[in-house]
Amino acid sequence: MLVGKYSPTAAGSDPRSGDLGFLLVKGNVIDESDSGKRIQWKNNTDVSRVSFDEQTKTWTQLIGGGGSGVHTKEGKLLFPVEGTKKEGDNRKAVSLIICTSEDTKKSWKLSKWISDGGCSDPSVVEWKDNQLIMMTACDDGRRRVYESGDKGESWTEALGTLSCVWGNEKGEEAKAVRSGFTTATIGNGDAVDDQRNVMLVTLPVYTEEKIKTKKLNSIFG
């Protein structure tokens, strides 16, 4: 799990300039006979500390987007993050963290960023043929979906079937409401012909009476 951290600077210095960054923690399920099972979290020493060095010079903010991230078939770790660029009007841009391995040294890098005027709270899954799909919640009440076939180096908005699956009614506010997004393989037995890959999505919806309380609606694709 990817978590954000903030360490304040020494007293008397600028309070806005702290140590911003990420920590990658690993949870192990421990069976305690008296109190049942619990998750023990600790710093993950198997993967290098999340650091971007020169990559963050053009960003004023970089925070975790949420979600469980992806462990790809190639062995890479991907986590959705969102940030604010320094240029222009400082609109939010959505990006991904990619863990790459060069020889025996593991390093982290940011993928190509996406900016679409207020889209935030990204979640990401790996789909067929090493395709990445990212879903975001935008200020206009829509869900925008993007896909990448080159590990995040380029993104295109999914304007086909995907755009018809998730989208709030006009006027609804989707900002800061993250969607659950994952994939699974379902079917009977071990026969490949009886199995199929599906996407599992949870979306915020509203009752016809315009009650403010939201409920979650699951979509299978």
Share of the chain above pLDDT 90, in %: 0
Mean per-residue pLDDT over the chain, rounded: 70
Domain count for the chain = 1
- Predicted confidence at residue 21, as pLDDT, reads 67
Q: Does any domain span residue 31?
A: yes
- Predicted confidence at residue 151, as pLDDT, reads 80
Q: Does any domain span residue 82?
A: yes
CATH number at residue 27: 2.120.10.10
Q: Does any domain span residue 135?
A: yes
Q: Is the pLDDT of residue 138 over 70?
A: yes
Residue 47: alpha-carbon gap to chain centroid: 19
Q: Does any domain span residue 12?
A: no
Q: Does any domain span residue 11?
A: no
Cα 56 from Cα 91, distance rounded (Å)? 16
- Predicted confidence at residue 207, as pLDDT, reads 57
**Segments forming the whole domain that contains residue 167:** 2-6+17-220
Q: Is the pLDDT of residue 216 over 60?
A: no
Q: Rounded mean pLDDT of 63-92? A: 75
Residue 102: which residues within 8 A CB-CB, separation 6 or more?
none
- Predicted confidence at residue 185, as pLDDT, reads 84
Structure tokens at 76: 């890479």
